[in-house]
Amino acid sequence: MTVTEAPRPPKARRKPSTPTTSVLFDVPGPRARRRNALIGVIGTVAILAALGYVIYRFWETGQFSGTKWEIFAYKQPQITILEGYLNTLKAAGIAAVLALALGIALAAARVSDRAWLRTPAFAFVELFRAVPLLLLMFLFYYGAPTLGFRVSPLWAVVLGLTLYNGSVFAELFRAGIASVPRGQSEAAYALGLRKSQVMMSVLVPQAVRAMLPAIISQLVVLLKDTALGFLVTYDELLKQLKQLATAPDFEYPLIPLVLVGGVIYVATCLLLSWFATWVERRLARKGSHSAAPTMHGDVGQQMGGGAATI
């Protein structure tokens, strides 16, 4: 809430200035503003003190020593980090394509008129959204050899991600189709279109538009979840960082490596998220019907590892 220049009575007309505009408090009057300023100062001091303590801890335990950070100046560590990052992107890329394909197939089965297609698809989606993603990866990596075939770490990660995210995508597509106003399909049927035609030329295009932002934010989750690959020995970014952290020549630079790794992940995810917001805004401008995903979709999904419901 921006503060206007002159103190105004609380009843003054106000417009929702920031998206965080809240119904919880009025436009502050002079006294409230003095109080807020005081809380602001105290809050800032407390936050700075906490951050200062963290930095002090880092400094005291020698995390800022030159030797520890020197690791980034050498070519081999740089290549190792880059390789890890590329492996992360590779797993995410393959899994994204496969999960979208699986999602489309499952969604098609779930909106089918035939119960023998609908019911198994429903069970499949429910099952794979309820099982922790890491366990799925374990099943492929450690479990499959019991049955006599080996799955490489990459494919354990990819298959786990595909099954879980495919199920989530299926629900997203289905929700998208359900969000199209009923009059649309009624009108299409009235024109004499068959069910497949109604789907393909009326419902699906609108559903995809409505769901695109949610799909992209689920892709962010998928990307984040590739980090689980570290636990099934896939050579992704985290595993490479851990390997580098054992270098005694650089005084075991785990903390610098984690910080850099965090920056890489946050930057990649933020980039994708911004893309999602951009798509959302573009779609909204074109005047489509409510393209905004529900708030549940917004928060529940982002969590990865698997929010069970959308």
Main-chain phi, psi angles of 263, to 5 degrees: -60, -40
Main-chain phi, psi angles of 306, to 5 degrees: 115, 90
* Whole-number Å distance between alpha carbons of 160 and 163: 5
Task: Between 121 and 202, name the residue whose CB sits nearer to other proteins.
Answer: 121
Rounded least distance, CB 204 to other proteins, Å: 25
Q: Which of 254, 275, 279, 284 binds other proteins (CB under 8 A)?
A: 254
Among positions 194-233, residues that touch other proteins (CB under 8 A) are 220, 224-228, 230-231
Q: Is 134 in the site for other proteins (CB under 8 A)?
A: yes
Q: Is 105 in the site for other proteins (CB under 8 A)?
A: no
Q: Is 131 in the site for other proteins (CB under 8 A)?
A: yes
Rounded least distance, CB 88 to other proteins, Å: 9
Q: Is 269 in the site for other proteins (CB under 8 A)?
A: yes
Among positions 41-80, residues that touch other proteins (CB under 8 A) are 43-44, 47, 57-58, 60-61, 63
Question: Are 253 and 190 contacting, i.e. CB atoms less than 8 angstroms apart?
Answer: no
* Whole-number Å distance between alpha carbons of 188 and 186: 5
Q: Which residue has the tokens 């390997």?
A: 243
Among positions 9-28, residues that touch other proteins (CB under 8 A) are 16, 19-25, 28
Q: Which residue has the tokens 């990459």?
A: 154
Q: Is 181 in the site for other proteins (CB under 8 A)?
A: no
Of residues 123, 101, 114, 122, the one with CA closest to residue 195: 114
Cα three-residue angle 136-141-147, rounded to 5 degrees = 100
Rounded least distance, CB 270 to other proteins, Å: 6
